[in-house]
Amino acid sequence: MVILVVVVAACAWLGWWQWDRARVEIVRTPSAEVVPLTDVHDPGQPVDQDQIGRRVALSGTFDADREVMVIERQNAGRTGAWVVTAFLPDRAGGAVMPVVRGWLPAGEEVPPAPEGDQDLVAWLEPTESDALRERGREPLPAGQVEVVSSAQLLSLWRPPLFQGFVIQQQPKPEAPLVEVAPPALTVTGEVDWQNAAYGVQWWLFGLFAIFWFFRMVRVEREDLLATPEERDADRLDTMDVNRDQEPRRTSE
């Protein structure tokens, strides 16, 4: 009984843990203060809750060879794409920060990334959830992605890489790029259905453990309540089966 309680409690806790991970809540806290990126965020580390929406300053250069288009992004009711270019901040050990340079209307050509040293002010954002991907979509052409995913960019670009990304605020993007609106002070909720499914699986495991325990108790109870004749009959049946399974000896 103690083992059952432990197993069921573990399954319940693991289920709630996965369910909690499935409910992604993002709280953005934009601030007027601008701080250097490397003072609040390190390469390879996730963007913490208190860092989301911070205005950060970056000095460095763009790497135009590492650029992707994030498709199906809306702006003022129109569909376009985000242009995300790799940026190498100074004193970051060669780590790359993905920068959303702006929103590009459908059908427009992507302007080249600025050359030389750049000083940017941008909004710091966490990596986007896989829940934003369209299920069953055919593979996209090279250079196009559905979400700004740190894991995907790490596979496309060379490490090291800052997790998360920034949305360029200053200087203003070059036309036809349009500045992406800064995040509002809101709470957004998303659901990662993969983690939700894992949570349901753990709860089903717990229910199965309860079923198995009471099934075994019932079998044991039936054995205790059986008459001697019924128990002897069960033993005889078992002996008959075992006897039938014994190999026959041939006379030499």
Q: For 164-217, how does the pLDDT look when each residue is reduced to its tens digit (9 = 90+)?
A: 999 999 999 988 999 998 766 554 555 555 666 766 777 787 788 788 778 787
Q: Please indicate, yes or no, whether residues 144 and 84 belong to a single structural domain of this protein.
A: yes
Q: Please indicate, yes or no, whether residues 126 and 166 belong to a single structural domain of this protein.
A: yes
Q: Please indicate, yes or no, whether residues 86 and 131 belong to a single structural domain of this protein.
A: yes
Dihedrals phi, psi of 70, to nearest 5 degrees: -95, 110
Q: Please indicate, yes or no, whether residues 88 and 7 belong to a single structural domain of this protein.
A: no
* Overall number of domains in the chain: 2
Q: Identify the residue with better confidence: 207 or 79.
A: 79
Q: Which sign does the torsion angle of CA 215, 220, 221, 223 carry?
A: positive
Name the domain boundary from 142, 167, 185. Answer: 185
Percent of the chain with pLDDT over 90: 42
Range of the domain at 200: 1-26+189-214
Give residue-wise pLDDT tens across range 163-174: 999 999 999 998
Residue 244 is assigned to a structural domain of this protein: no
Q: Please indicate, yes or no, whether residues 71 and 16 belong to a single structural domain of this protein.
A: no
Q: Please indicate, yes or no, whether residues 54 and 108 belong to a single structural domain of this protein.
A: yes
**What pTM, to 2 d.p., does this model score?**
0.64
Q: Please indicate, yes or no, whether residues 199 and 171 belong to a single structural domain of this protein.
A: no
Q: Please indicate, yes or no, whether residues 169 and 62 belong to a single structural domain of this protein.
A: yes
3-state secondary structure (DSSP) of residue 142:
coil
Contact 60, 92 (CB under 8 A): yes
Q: Which sign does the torsion angle of CA 96, 87, 132, 129 carry?
A: positive
Residue located via tokens 């701080």: 35
Residue 231 is assigned to a structural domain of this protein: no
Q: Please indicate, yes or no, whether residues 47 and 172 belong to a single structural domain of this protein.
A: yes
Residue 51 is assigned to a structural domain of this protein: yes
Dihedrals phi, psi of 149, to nearest 5 degrees: -105, 125
Q: Please indicate, yes or no, whether residues 77 and 194 belong to a single structural domain of this protein.
A: no
Q: Please indicate, yes or no, whether residues 120 and 193 belong to a single structural domain of this protein.
A: no
Residue 221 is assigned to a structural domain of this protein: no
3-state secondary structure (DSSP) of residue 91:
coil
Q: Please indicate, yes or no, whether residues 177 and 197 belong to a single structural domain of this protein.
A: no
